[in-house]
Amino acid sequence: MNSHKRELYRDPSRGKIAGVCAGLSDYFTMELWLVRIIFISAVLLTGGPFFVVAYVAAWFILDKKPGTESSYKKASTRSVKDERPVEVKFKVWQTGEPPRRALQDLKEQLTRIDGRIQTMEKYVTSPEFTVSHEINKL
């Protein structure tokens, strides 16, 4: 049983109008384009008023997703604490990345982390660190 409780938010940073479809795609772990197609199909096939009213009501009722401003930075400017988990999708309609892209993202993340570790190792093994450490002991 999954103990992680998901909550429904709207995500204006990914949304076209108010982010309701983006929030639904996060909640149901579906691709955003698929949720939009389902919503537009429902509006067109049923005449629309119910779904339009439901969308507007969700716009006002749902809270904005917390932390949406900083979560979509470019991968090259991301620091280690901002690293996002790589989610692999197994079916076309699920959210996440295709396996090849996920593997490439993991490789890029590990390359950045390896570079940082190498920089730390160079500093720790340098004479500057030794002198600084001895001065701090005094």
Question: How far apart, in whole angstroms, are the C-alpha atoms of residue 96 and residue 72?
Answer: 14
Q: What does the pLDDT read at residue 81?
A: 52
User: Model confidence at 71, in pLDDT bands (50, 70, 90)?
Assistant: very low
Q: What does the pLDDT read at residue 69?
A: 54
User: Model confidence at 26, in pLDDT bands (50, 70, 90)?
Assistant: confident
Confirm if 31 and 98 have CB atoms less than 8 A apart: no
Q: What does the pLDDT read at residue 48?
A: 72
Mean local confidence (pLDDT), 19-30 = 88
Q: Which residue has the higher pLDDT, 125 or 85?
A: 125
Mean local confidence (pLDDT), 97-126 = 88
DSSP one-letter code for 11: -
| Statement: residue 4 has pLDDT above 90 | no
Lowest mean pLDDT among 3-7, 20-24, 43-47, 55-59: 3-7
User: Model confidence at 74, in pLDDT bands (50, 70, 90)?
Assistant: very low
Q: Contacts from 78-86 at CB under 8 Å and sequence distance 24+?
A: 80/112, 80/113, 80/116, 83/109
| pTM for this model (two decimals) | 0.52
